[in-house]
Amino acid sequence: MGFNVAGWSRRMKKIDGISCFSNTEGLTKMITQTDYLINLLPNTSATQDLLNYQTPSKLKRGAYVINVGRGQTLVDEDLIALLDNGHLSGACLDVFRTEPLPSDHQFRNHNKILITPHNSSTTQAESAARQILENYRRAISGKKLLHLVDMKHGY
């Protein structure tokens, strides 16, 4: 497609066509190469406030931040500072620390922030029924269930 894709996660992964990074050093290395940062991280003790002033300030000047993960991973005031000082060119936010986003929140009137509604999909009854039935079959036959939450890691 003409652009490089990189990803960062708790554990190192190998995905064809994607430069994969893990741990703190990996995050720093990935961030310094990034033009568009798309945050999909869950809210855990390890990710809360991860995108504070120090992390996005390592992005290339003029980079753009998209947050569709969890609002608690991004420090609001730090994002505003990086937008106002020109380091970041803009941000698209779908999730917030407080939801719904208060009507007087500074994000609402910032000219470099696009706010999107947090309703990217709906549950389709037929699809959900198939998944529930499949997990029921797995449960009664002693097989591992699909789509489990890892309670140890919080997602």
Q: Give the residue numbers marked as catalytic.
A: 70, 118
Joined tokens for residue 114: 């696009």
Q: What is the DSSP string of 45-109?
A: TTTTT-BSTTTGGGSPTTEEEEE-S-GGGB-HHHHHHHHHTTSEEEEEES--SSSSPPTT-GGGG
> Cα–Cα distances in Å, from 108 out to 14, 37, 63, 76?
39, 21, 20, 12
Q: Rounded CA gap, 63 and 155, in Å?
A: 28
Three-class DSSP category at 25: helix
Whether the bond between 100 and the residue before it is cis, its omega within 30 degrees of 0, is yes
